[in-house]
Structure 1
Amino acid sequence: MKNRFWIAVLFIVVILGVQKSSAGITLTVPGKNPGFKIIGYLLQSDIAAGNAANFDFTRITHLNVAFINPDQNGNFPVFSGLSTIIATAHQKNVKVMASIGGGSAPAYYATLLADSSRNDFIKKLVEVAVTNGFDGVDVDLESTRIDNNYENFVTGLAAALKLKGKMITAAVATAYGTQYTDKALSQFDFINIMSYDKTGPWNLSNPGQDAPYDMAVDDLTYWSTTRGIKKDKLNLGVPFYGYGFGTNAPSSISFKNLVAQYPGAENTDQVTLPGGGIIYYNGIPTIKSKVQLALQKAGGVMMWQLLQDTTGDLSLLHAINATIAGHN
């Protein structure tokens, strides 16, 4: 019996030692970036349309489905395609989160988070997570949605989710940093820093990079040093899109379309167009540098959003996977 026991143990160790994703990252070997998270967002609309059917989930560790928002009464609709995508992700050991809110979150969130309706809304939100098989809820409430009720909401939601064995995470922006209380931040299992959108089509008088490298440095410094959040709870967000300024420039463009239209664009951070307009974005070298930064200063990386990436060797996610795999 003892021999059989040790043979079984050896077999398990060997299997774990060779288990790899198709991107070549060893996810289960102790000491090889253990626990480093690769978090990507997928739009619910893309899931419903079947656009995410062929996505390779071995390349990420967490999937955030955006956005799972209620109506003004706090009731959630039936979301098409969720069960299939969640089951597929779970088969690859990927955690799936229901992300609520977003940059254009409905104004009635203020009412749903108020004292009179908060508990009922939390109950319905937890029910959505449990019924659909989500592993937790990702709270992406921004700007004025981070109001005086935010702390009580995330505290109540965290307690209710943990009773069901679920996680709670957050997407945060340093621009709103002072609006998050320490108590609210302490509720989250981890935090995704939206280190992008420094400028964009809403601010045409201020053209330039929406996600420069120094922004990533400053953001990580703020959340780790100023706010005292531990390294392994922070994930650095990177963009899979760009913004255009000036003549002939699109207001926004996916990295996928960018490299298809402008060969060689993957190796730089901007493209100058005929007429003088400029598209700003993060190319492969900058993405690799940010991943190296995250490997030193954070517990993972986050991408907005996965289907804006291209495929093959020019893929930004491929660059992320390769950088993590090659890290010593």
Structure 2
Amino acid sequence: MKRFLILSIAALATLASCTKEIAQVPDGYGAKEFVKPNTPYEPDVSFKRIAYLPAYRALTEIDTTALDDLTHVIFSFLKPKADASLVLDDSKMTVKNAVALIKRHKCKAIIALNGDSKIYNTLLSNPQSRQLFIKNIVTYMLENQFDGVDMDWEYPNASSGGDVTFGIFMQELSAELHSWHRTLSMAVTAGVYAGPVREGINQAAIDACDFVNLMAYDGIGWKSNPDHSPESLANEVLDLWLGEKKLPKNKAVLGLPAYGKGRATGSTTDVSMSFKDLLVKGAAPTGTSFVSGGITYYYNGIPTIENKTITAKTRANGIMFWELGQDAAGENSLIKAARKKL
């Protein structure tokens, strides 16, 4: 009897040990079958603090403590092939490690897609290939434990019917993602120039999204301003999307650049430099422009980022940085400065 009791205790101890190990495995890790939630989808309407994390960034290139000041990190980019299969950009960080890093800092992990417009136009215009494309996106998202999808096709074009097919695609993708309680977002042009690119994003696409990242940068020459992302541009972008494009305020996320941009005299080609590299070369963290190699780089220093964050808090429902690897570390971090203003 005593021997049986000892064996029973040992068996229970072994079972408890196994149970503990299983509990430490991340939910869904290695799973190939998934069960949809049976409760209604509830959109997250809280203020969002977002940064993109390109796959080509190594862990050593980013200040991971900045993730503590974010709510979402968008890992980029996944691209469609002509057969609707998906391929990740050349990566210095595995998807598994990227997602683990993001979630370790209590952020939502989003996978972003961009790619060739010809491929998108072909896939989206055919109902069968469109459904296969959606299926592959959702499968990739689930298998890699992402919390949502961000569409960064630059850009659907109304002159080729891209507005219609993109709207249909986004509606169908949204329905599938929401059935899994996952989010759908998109990154869009600043929209200040009228034309088929601006009209490529229609109401159907806007309605399908949980939030929309407004790329209020890369605007060199807008109203003859050499600064590619001044505060005035941020307000005009919000005017356009909230007004003419009927984007709801609770879906609007204002894009902020963690880099400077300029042009050599007489050139029409833009050149850029990360905010952290500008500081290394001697630029002031509180400045707005810096000359290096004969080129004036215009950038958003800490005061500009603070002011734009206040604008976003008042007029929108989030901020987004392109991109995590270009921000400075420590007290000069633009991401940290934005969080402090909130």
TM-score w.r.t. length of structure 1: 0.79
Question: 1:52–1:122: structure 2 CA closer, same or farther, 3 Å change rule?
Answer: farther
Distance in 1 between residues matched to 2:292 and 2:246, nearest whole Å: 43
**Cα contact 1:66–1:100 (8 A) shared by 2:** yes
Distance in 1 between residues matched to 2:85 and 2:171, nearest whole Å: 20
What per-residue deviation string (whole Å, max 9, x for no partner) do you get for residues 142-193 of structure 1? 2346713101111111111112221101111132332211122101011111
Distance in 2 between residues matched to 1:170 and 1:293, nearest whole Å: 21
Equivalent AA in structure 2 for residue 36 of structure 1: F
**Cα contact 1:44–1:68 (8 A) shared by 2:** no
Residue among 195, 206, 227 paired with 2:245: 227
Question: Which residue matches 1:26?
Answer: none
Q: 3-state DSSP class of the match of 1:258? A: helix
What per-residue deviation string (whole Å, max 9, x for no partner) do you get for residues 6-49 of structure 1? xxxxxxxxxxxxxxxxxxxxxxxxxxxx9221000000121xx4
Residue 246 of structure 1: CA displacement?
1.8
Residue 68 of structure 1: CA displacement?
1.3
Of 211-220 and 228-237, the range deviating more from structure 2: 228-237
Q: Which runs of 5+ in 2 are unaligned?
A: 1-44, 192-196
Of 81-90 and 162-171, the range deviating more from structure 2: 81-90
Q: 3-state DSSP class of the match of 1:293? A: helix
Question: 1:197–1:37: structure 2 CA closer, same or farther, 3 Å change rule?
Answer: same
Question: Which residue matches 2:186?
Answer: 170
Residue among 129, 134, 143 paired with 2:146: 134
Residue 229 of structure 1: CA displacement?
2.5
- Answering whether residue 276 of structure 2 is matched by residue 256 of structure 1, we say yes
Residue among 265, 270, 292 paired with 2:289: 270
Question: 1:62–1:72: structure 2 CA closer, same or farther, 3 Å change rule?
Answer: same
| Identical pairs, percent | 30
Question: Which residue matches 1:55?
Answer: 64
- Answering whether residue 161 of structure 2 is matched by residue 149 of structure 1, we say no
Question: Which residue matches 1:90?
Answer: 103
Distance in 2 between residues matched to 1:210 and 1:77, nearest whole Å: 32
Question: Which residue matches 1:111?
Answer: 122
Question: Which residue matches 2:75?
Answer: 65
The within-5 A match list for 1:143-222 is 143-144=155-156, 147=162, 148-175=164-191, 176-199=197-220, 208-222=226-240
TM-score w.r.t. length of structure 2: 0.76
Question: 1:45–1:274: structure 2 CA closer, same or farther, 3 Å change rule?
Answer: closer
Residue 215 of structure 1: CA displacement?
0.8
Aligned Cα root-mean-square deviation (Å): 2.4
Runs of 4+ in 1 over 6 A off after TM superposition: none
Question: Which residue matches 1:4?
Answer: none
Question: Which residue matches 2:27?
Answer: none
Distance in 1 between residues matched to 2:320 and 2:73, nearest whole Å: 10
Residue among 113, 117, 140 paired with 1:100: 113
Q: 3-state DSSP class of the match of 2:134? A: helix
The within-5 A match list for 1:287-306 is 287-306=305-324
Distance in 2 between residues matched to 1:246 and 1:227, nearest whole Å: 35
**Cα contact 1:172–1:191 (8 A) shared by 2:** yes
Number of positions where the alignment pairs a residue of Structure 1 with one of Structure 2: 281
Q: 3-state DSSP class of the match of 1:152? A: helix
Question: 1:226–1:298: structure 2 CA closer, same or farther, 3 Å change rule?
Answer: same
Distance in 2 between residues matched to 1:41 and 1:145, nearest whole Å: 24
Residue 273 of structure 1: CA displacement?
4.3
Equivalent AA in structure 2 for residue 258 of structure 1: L
Equivalent AA in structure 2 for residue 35 of structure 1: S
Question: Which residue matches 1:236?
Answer: 254
**Cα contact 1:242–1:255 (8 A) shared by 2:** yes
Question: 1:88–1:273: structure 2 CA closer, same or farther, 3 Å change rule?
Answer: closer
Equivalent AA in structure 2 for residue 112 of structure 1: L
Q: Which runs of 5+ in 1 are unaligned?
A: 1-33
Distance in 1 between residues matched to 2:62 and 2:337, nearest whole Å: 22
